Amino acid sequence: MGGVYFILGGFISLLGILIWRFEWVGLLSNVDQTTVINKKGLARWAGGCILALSGVAYSTSVILQYVVTERGELIACMGFMITSHLLMVVYLSGLHRYTK
């Protein structure tokens, strides 16, 4: 189960790097490109939030390597889901600084 979160973290990291380093804000489906005020700031904010999400996925992968019970795996997966939802709330709340 931990391998799935490791691969997921790698994919999310790749997306975060593409958005942050190369300012590919076109990959953000919830942002209308005509309303962007500060493209560089938006890329930094969105990329940072997505990289934080990948860190949570990697952490969950490591935690799942040490968990031996099915209940522990369930708790780790639920923790990932709750944390990822909270990170998306933080991302969406900061998004308004960079759009009209």
pLDDT tens digits for range 15-43? 999 999 999 998 898 888 889 999 999 99
How many Cα atoms occupy the beta-carbon half-sphere of 88 within 13 Å? 8
Q: Is residue 52 part of a domain?
A: yes
CA geometry: angle 63, 4, 2, nearest 5 deg:
25
What distance in Å separates the CA atoms of residue 40 and residue 45, rounded to the nearest whole number?
9
Query: Residue 39 domain-assigned?
Result: yes
In a domain, 9, yes or no: yes
| Number of other CB atoms surrounding residue 57 within 10 Å | 21
pLDDT confidence band for 1 (50 / 70 / 90) = confident
Does any domain span residue 36?
A: yes
Is 100 contained in some domain?
A: no
- Tell me how many domains the chain contains: 1
pTM assigned to the model:
0.91
The answer as to whether 89 is a domain residue is yes
Residues of the domain holding 64: 2-95
